[in-house]
Amino acid sequence: MNAARRQRALGLACAFLAFAGPCRSAPPVAASGYVLADGSIRIVAEKTMEPVLSRLNTLMTRRHPELRFHMIFGDVPVGLDGIIARVSLLAPLAHDAWESEIDPFKRLNGYRPLDVRIGRLGHAGAGRANPPSIYVNAANPLRSLDIDRVSRVFTTGHLPGDLRRWNQLGIVGEWEKHAIHVYGTRDDGMTTTALRLARFGARPFVRHYEALPADRDVLEAVAGDRYGIGLAGFVAESDVPNAVRRLALSESPSAIASLASYEDVRGGRYALSPSLHFYVDRAPNSPLDPIAAEYIRLALSAEGQRILAELKDTAAGFVPLEPEEAARELAKLER
């Protein structure tokens, strides 16, 4: 029975590949690692993705009754381990993969994995964690920053120059006499490093950046420092000290700054919300694994995006893509 189930799963993969020519009895190479002895398809995923994937699996099996899924969920950094070991259909992550997660895949295969975004994670609101944010002392008159100036405060090597003093941010009075004291968590290859690489031009942090062990340490430092500014990851609003305030962020000086409302995050108007990703092993000039392609298409369909919308009020705060953005991500499958 187990062998029969496995053969049916592999047969479905072959059927998906029918456009490429007649099926052969041998299973596709890509299918051999993630199809288990009982015929189920293994997916190794970040635990945050569990509510999304469980619903996607239900939809997938409704469309393709021959398929069953065996899920393995891990805490960060589960990373791309499943596709590196070739034992997972794809690698679903609830964060932008760090280079330390991608490098082992690149060393093994000689190319980067295909990265398809299916949504975003994190929007501000009661009962949820704020997405990654910039915090200042509550006494600070600054209310907003664009992402370029954030980068020039936290990292070095910019033209026309780094921003070191509060008067360079247009603040007058008491603050204009003082240097900006910069706090954040350690540049250890995880969330802070991912933000530095993806949003701050991969530049190094400024020499006076004070790296602290945890987000709560960053907020406590800013709470006790009138001239401090801090970069923190996902933090529950209830854990933010009264002496600290989140800054509204914008993509450019001319754009409207956002405090990460649901609609702003969905429209890509909040600068630091991470995306939800499906990373897939696809060699250059090679077709995508057919079951992986079908799974991704479902996630980007109106039905799949509705799942994210229905989960928006959960603690994680899932956010679907705008239809135009979903279409652009879907087009990646055809390249």
Q: Which domain holds residue 246?
A: 129-265
pLDDT at 248: 98
pLDDT at 1: 41
113, 281 in Cβ contact below 8 A? Answer: yes
Name the band, by pLDDT with cuts 50, 70 and 90, for residue 32: low
Q: Indicate which CATH number applies to the domain containing 36.
A: 3.40.190.10
pLDDT at 75: 85
Same domain flag for 312 and 260: no
The string of DSSP letters for 137-199 reads ETT----EEEHHHHHHHHB---SS----BGGGGT--GGGGGSBPEEEEE--SSSHHHHHHHHH
pLDDT at 11: 52
Query: What integer is the mean pLDDT of 54-81?
Result: 93
Q: How many CB atoms lie within 10 A of CB 58?
A: 11
Q: Which of 265, 296, 318 is the last residue of a domain?
A: 265
pLDDT at 188 over 90: no
Which residue, 143, 126, 166, is CA-closest to 245? Answer: 143
Cβ neighbors of 6 (< 8 A, separation 6 or more) are: 35, 36, 37, 38, 39
| pLDDT cut 70: percent of the chain above it | 90
pLDDT at 243 over 70: yes
Query: What integer is the mean pLDDT of 95-100?
Result: 86
Same domain flag for 106 and 139: no
Same domain flag for 112 and 144: no
Q: Which of 265, 289, 321 is the last residue of a domain?
A: 265
CA dihedral (25, 28, 34, 40) positive or negative? negative
Same domain flag for 172 and 112: no
107, 115 in Cβ contact below 8 A? Answer: no
Same domain flag for 155 and 41: no
- Kindly report the pTM of this predicted structure: 0.85
Query: What integer is the mean pLDDT of 88-104?
Result: 92
Same domain flag for 116 and 217: no
Same domain flag for 11 and 52: yes
Query: What integer is the mean pLDDT of 24-46?
Result: 73
pLDDT at 24: 33
pLDDT at 169 over 80: yes
**pLDDT tens per residue across span 247-298:** 999 999 999 999 999 999 999 999 999 999 999 999 999 999 999 999 999 9
Q: Which of 265, 298, 317 is the last residue of a domain?
A: 265
pLDDT at 329: 98
pLDDT at 6 over 70: no
pLDDT at 237: 87
Same domain flag for 69 and 152: no
Residue 115 bridge partners (DSSP)? 279
pLDDT at 246: 97
Cβ neighbors of 238 (< 8 A, separation 6 or more) are: none
Same domain flag for 215 and 147: yes
Same domain flag for 9 and 41: yes
E strand intervals along 12-112: 41-46, 69-74, 91-93
Which residue, 19, 52, 129, is CA-closest to 308? Answer: 52
Q: What is the distance between the alpha carbons of residues 23 and 76, in angstroms, rounded to a whole number? A: 39
Query: What integer is the mean pLDDT of 3-22?
Result: 45
Same domain flag for 251 and 141: yes
pLDDT at 34: 95
pLDDT at 147: 96
Q: What are the Cα distances from residue 177, in Å, to 23, 167, 168, 180, 304?
A: 74, 7, 10, 10, 53
What mean pLDDT is reported for the chain?
A: 89
Domain count of the fold of the chain: 2
Same domain flag for 187 and 257: yes
Q: What is the distance between the alpha carbons of residues 140 and 280, in angstroms, rounded to a whole number? A: 45
Query: What integer is the mean pLDDT of 12-20?
Result: 42
Query: What integer is the mean pLDDT of 223-252?
Result: 95
Name the band, by pLDDT with cuts 50, 70 and 90, for residue 194: confident
pLDDT at 204 over 90: yes
Q: How far apart are the first and last CA of the chain?
A: 38
Query: What integer is the mean pLDDT of 295-304?
Result: 97
